[in-house]
Chain A
């Protein structure tokens, strides 16, 4: 007899089960069903196979396989799917998580180390999952004299701002979460939030290390925001649009990096500074000020900041791809969907199964996504590379670079773009368009 439940009786156990079922049914029918119907009343339901999908038909996809794929396809074009899964958070978080692992292995290989090795059978492939579980199970410690509301809000705001940035990046034709006419300006607006969040959380933690790190982050980000904005104006001048999707479409024949290499270099350096990566990682200089403005974060709060940082990394790499490397443009390498399956279905032995609604994604979108991911991963690796090679630079050198050299180079880039525009070579109505 176990000592955990010495008064155990089977009849009482079964009785409690019935009790539970009774309450679940009661609450579901009194609260749950009305909520479900109110939600279904307000959601605009799609027309599937020429028939409006009423709430009563919502579950028929389980019984009728010919409705399954059209419903799934319809769901994939809703905003909630775009925000949560494909061009939005899920996709970006997957790439960000892969980046964390690849960064560790990549840097280890550069420096002739082995990197994560013991988690998982092959090359420490489960290290990331282990780190995630560790962060989730750790206690969140708030410093005693911290300013609690701002300290709590910091990581959430950071992830939120990074997510807003991710939502503006177009991945494939038509596959973007938010597509405003002033997309690039929206990017500038979102980037402007990061230094505020950094310095506010740094101040709120009430520690010398975090405050020094936060002030460094503020100095650095403010100094590099101006060349960042200026270096992108050349692309805007030549493509004649602020919409990121239209900027990608304008690079159908050639990439802007071919004409604006100075702008691309300036933008790449400012990316490194905005992301606080080596050689500009003074805000997190671990050998001087512990971990900079992240010192007092623990547990999942640190995890959220880390997630936000890597989402931001993906978003900046995607922005570089979109503006200078032609985004989703590339030769069609994705094979077309086999016509036999659409017309005749799949035959396995005596059974022939037809799947109306195939193909799930069109060829253009898959090809665009492939090229976008290839280019973005290349840019991410380039961003990671300096960490294995360069030492950290001093703060006055950073500020000197930002305020003097990069702004000057960005202006030269603008003059090149203007020259190409007024010579009638490129731009709206140019020779090569």
Chain B
């Protein structure tokens, strides 16, 4: 049962990823990207990590995909992409991907993943939260600072002082 679900999810994820890269229509491409990200969420569910799966759905499908849709619908295509298409680039991309996959694959297989105990019970998300707030709290603080600074940076970049809107209430 799990094997068949895993196979179906793999086909869905990889297939829609290829569609997202190859299809001409930007909207269909973004839909395929959503399917890919949902497939990844399915993998997390299979790995007994519903917490991560739900965040994958709400952040990647619910927010990132919405941002991509926003961009695609509000900006004209010519402004984002040039129409130059190069066969050699595609092959170079495929070769680069294969090299990357092989490299990462050897690292992961060599990292002791094979000797991992797969029958142990899943880690509760509360345990992860406790670890975050105690042992890993410096990492949490650094992450919070990075996120806050990036948000402030984005707000500063997006701020426009040259536009005065007479319609606004405030």
Contact = CB atoms under 8 A, between A and B. Distances in A.
Contacts of B66: 192, 195-196, 199, 218, 222
B73 A185 contact: no
A185 B63 contact: no
B55 A185 contact: yes
Interface in A136-151: 147, 150
A396 interface: yes
Contact of B58 (A185, A394, A400): A185
Interface string B50-69: 11001101100111011001
Contacts of A396: 165, 167-169
B170 A400 contact: yes
A225 B67 CA distance: 14
A279 to B, nearest CB: 14
Interface in A171-195: 180-182, 185-186, 188-189, 191-193, 195
B16 to A, nearest CB: 14
Determine chain B's interface SS by DSSP, over half rule.
helix
- Output the residue of B27, B34, B124, B165 with the most chain A CB within 10 A: B27
Contacts of A96: none
A185 B61 contact: no
Nearest to B60: A192
A195 B167 CA distance: 27
Contacts of A394: 169
Contacts of B125: 181-182, 242
B69 A199 contact: yes
Determine chain A's interface SS by DSSP, over half rule.
helix
B19 interface: no
Contacts of A192: 57-58, 61-63, 66
Contacts of B70: 218
A397 interface: yes
A384 interface: no
Contacts of A370: none
B12 interface: no
30 contacts: A180-B50, A182-B50, A182-B51, A185-B50, A185-B54, A185-B58, A188-B54, A189-B57, A189-B62, A191-B62, A192-B63, A192-B66, A195-B66, A196-B61, A196-B62, A196-B65, A199-B69, A199-B73, A200-B27, A200-B69, A203-B27, A203-B73, A211-B73, A218-B69, A218-B70, A222-B63, A225-B62, A242-B125, A396-B165, A400-B169
The 8 nearest A-B residue pairs measured at CB: A192-B62, A189-B57, A185-B54, A189-B58, A188-B58, A192-B58, A189-B54, A182-B50
Interface of B: 27, 31, 34, 50-51, 54-55, 57-58, 61-63, 65-66, 69-70, 73-74, 124-125, 165, 167-170
